[in-house]
Amino acid sequence: MPKWGWATIEIMPGPVQSWYFHSRPDGTSLRFPHRLLVAVLLLLAGAPWIRWRYSLRTVLIAVTVVALVLGLLFAF
Amino acid at the residue 50:
I
Rounded-to-integer distance, Cα 32 and Cα 22, Å? 12
What is the reported pTM?
0.42
- pLDDT at site 57: 93
- pLDDT at site 30: 73
> What are the mean pLDDT values of the chain's consecutive 10-residue runs (76 residues total)?
62 61 73 78 88 87 91 75
- pLDDT at site 37: 80
> Which sequence spans correspond to the domains of the chain?
20-75
